[in-house]
Amino acid sequence: MDSGYVLSVTQLNEYAKTLIERDPLLKSLGVRGEISGFKRHSSGHLYFSLKDDGALIRCVMFRQSALLLRFEPRDGMSVLAMGGVSIYAKDGQYQFYARSMEEAGEGVLYQRFMMLKTRLEAQGLFDAAHKKPIPFLPKCLGVITSPTGAVLRDILHVVRRRYPSMNVLLYPAKVQGEGAAAEIARAIAEMNRLGRADVLIVGRGGGSMEDLWAFNEEIVARAIYESAIPVVSAVGHETDFSIADFVADLRAPTPSAAAELCVPEFEKLMSRVRELDAAVHIAPRNKLAALRTSVALTLRSSGFAAPKNASLRLRQTVEAKRAALQNASRAAVVGAYATLEQQNLRMEALSPMRVLDRGYALVKKRDGGFVTSVRALVEEREAELILCDGSADISVERIRYQGESGEGRQ
C-alpha cells in the first residue's frame, strides 16, 4: 500500500498551521457570532467560543488585547471579533485568535465606518499635503464641544496651567445623538466665519462607537476639511479612532492632550526669551572679542607684515631720494649764486661809474640822452658834465673833431 508522506503528529500539525497562517484571508478577518463558554484566566487571557446556528469555533484573546475591550464579554452576547485563524500545534486545536472585539451592534457601524473611510480617503480628504500646521503660539484657542461635559473643564484646566492669559473661545455643540453631526459642522463653519480663533479643538470624551458616531459622519469630515483654521481632533480615548481624526490637521489622543498640543508653556517661553535676551547681549561682545583677537593675530602674521615692510623700504628709498634731491638743489643754488656774484662783479667792473673813478666823465644833453659824439653838440650848446663825485652844467664854446688841428668849428 502506497502511504505517501509519513509525518509525525507534530509535523502534521505544524504543516497545517503553516498552511493556514499563509492564507491572507485567514490572517486578518472578522467573525460574527454568539459568545459561549466564556472564561477569563488568571493570566488575563480570555477563552471562549463563537457560534451561530450551524457551527462553532474556539477563540482566544490574549491579555494585551483584552485590556483594550470597552465592554465586559459574557455568554449569549452577539459580538464581532477581529483577528486571525491558526492551529495550536500542541493539541491540533483549530481556533480563532481575536485581537479586538465589539458588540454586534457596533459591527454594523464599523462596516459603515470602513466604507466611509475608504471613500473619503480615495477622495484625498486624508492627504498629508492638505494638513495645515498648528500655530506655535495662538492668540485665541477655539473649542467646539459640549458646554456641560468634562471635556471643556479638562481643556480649560490644561490651558490655565500652561498659559494663564490664553484666550479661549467656546462654540457649544451637541456631541452625541440626533443632530449632533450637523451642529458640529455648523460650529466649525461659524468659527471660520468669525475668524477669531487661530486653532480649533473639536472633540468629546470617550464612549461606545454609537456615542462617538457624530464624529464619523461625512458632514463633519467635510467641515473639517474645508476649515481654513487648523483643526485638532480630540475624540474619545487614546484607543478610539474616528473619521474626524483622519481628516483633522492633527489628532490628539485625548482632549487634555489636545490642549497641551495647542498651547505652549508660558514659563518655558519666558525662560527661552530670557536665554535669547542674554544671548543677544553676550553674542556681540563675544563676536567683537573674537574679531579683535583675529585682527591681532593678522597683524602679527608674516603675510600682513610683508606689505608693511615693503612700505617701509619704499619710504626709506623716497627719503634717500628726497635728501639727494635737496642736496643737489642746494648745490645748484650755491653754484648759481656764485656765478651771479661773479657776473655782478664783472658788471660792476664794466659800470660807467667805475670808469668815472678813473677820471673819465659823461656828457648828458638837456633832453636826458648822453652825448656819444661831438656832432651831438653842434646844436646843443649846453650840457651836463657828470663826474664820479657829482655833475656840472657846461656850455660849449668850440667843437673840434678828431684829427683836426688848430681852431675847430665855433
Residue 283 belongs to some domain of the structure: no
Q: How far apart are CA 172 and CA 159, in angstroms?
A: 18
Residue 405 is predicted with a pLDDT of: 57
Q: Are residues 127 and 261 in the same domain?
A: yes
Nearest to 143 by CA among 211, 223, 199: 199
Q: Is the residue at 135 inside a domain? A: yes
Q: Do residue 256 and residue 180 come from a single domain?
A: yes
Residue 379 has a pLDDT of 65
With respect to residue 408, please indicate whether it lies within any of the assigned structural domains.
no
pLDDT band of residue 331 (cuts 50, 70, 90) is confident
pLDDT band at 187 (very low <50, low <70, confident <90, very high): very high
Do 15 and 135 sit in the same domain of this protein? no
Mean pLDDT of the 58-65 span: 94
Mean local confidence (pLDDT), 17-40: 85
Reference 28, options 85, 66, 113; nearest CA is 85
Phi, psi angle pair for 287, to nearest 5°: -65, -45
pTM of the predicted protein model = 0.49
> Rounded mean pLDDT of 333-362?
76
CATH number at residue 128: 3.40.50.10550
The answer for residues whose C-beta is within 8 angstroms of residue 154's C-beta and 6 or more apart is 254, 255, 256, 259
**Euclidean distance between CA atoms 243 and 282, whole angstroms:** 51
Output the nine-digit C-alpha cell for 17: 498551521
Same domain, 262 and 130: yes
Q: Among 104, 135, 155, which residue terminates a domain?
A: 104
Tell me: do 127 and 255 sit in the same domain. Answer: yes
CA distances from 268 to 63, 73, 141, 275 (A): 40, 47, 19, 10
Indicate if 129 and 250 belong to the same structural domain: yes
Together in a domain, 165 and 67: no
- Is 400 among the domain residues? no
Q: Are 48 and 35 within 8 A, CB to CB?
A: yes
Select, from the ranges 10-14, 90-94, 224-228, 381-385, the one with the highest average predicted confidence (pLDDT).
224-228
The pLDDT of residue 108: 58
pLDDT in tens, 105-126: 555 567 788 899 999 999 999 9
Residue 91: count of CB within 10 angstroms of its CB: 9
Domain boundary among 44, 69, 104: 104
Residues 91 and 129 in one domain: no
Closest to 177 measured CA to CA, from 204, 156, 201: 204
25 closest CA partner among 79, 83, 72: 83
**Which DSSP symbol is given to 139?**
S
- Rounded to whole angstroms, the Cα distance separating 219 from 200 reads 17
Q: Whole-angstrom Cα distance, residue 70 to residue 206?
A: 10
How would you classify the pairing of strands 250-251 and 167-172? unpaired
Predicted confidence band of residue 357 (pLDDT cuts 50, 70, 90): low
Same structural domain, 231 and 149: yes
Examine residue 308 and state whether it is found in any structural domain, yes or no.
no
Give pLDDT, residue 336.
82
The residues that bridge with 83 in the sheet, in sequence order, are: 29, 98
| 314 within some domain | no
> Is the domain of 98 the same as that of 128?
no
* Confidence (pLDDT) at 211: 82
How far does Cα 58 stand from its chain's mean position? 61
Check whether 409 has a pLDDT greater than 60: no
User: Does 328 reside within a domain?
Assistant: no
Q: Residue 200: name the closest of 149, 242, 261 by CA.
A: 261
The DSSP secondary structure of 16-27, one letter per residue, reads HHHHHHH-HHHH
Higher-confidence residue of 357 and 196: namely: 196
**Looking at the predicted structure, is the pLDDT value of residue 144 above 60?**
yes
Q: Is there a single domain that holds both residue 51 and residue 165?
A: no
Residues 85, 135, single domain; the answer is: no
Q: What is the pLDDT of residues 29-61, one digit of tens each?
A: 889 888 888 999 999 999 999 988 788 899 999
- The verdict on residue 202 lying in a domain is yes
Nearest CA to 170 out of 149, 136, 224 is that of: 149
pLDDT band per the 50, 70, 90 thresholds, residue 404: low
pLDDT of residue 102: 86
Mark which of 104, 135, 163 sits at the end of a domain.
104
- CB of 149 closer than 8 Å to CB of 204: yes
Structural domain span for residue 376: 354-395
How many domains does the structure of the chain reveal? 3
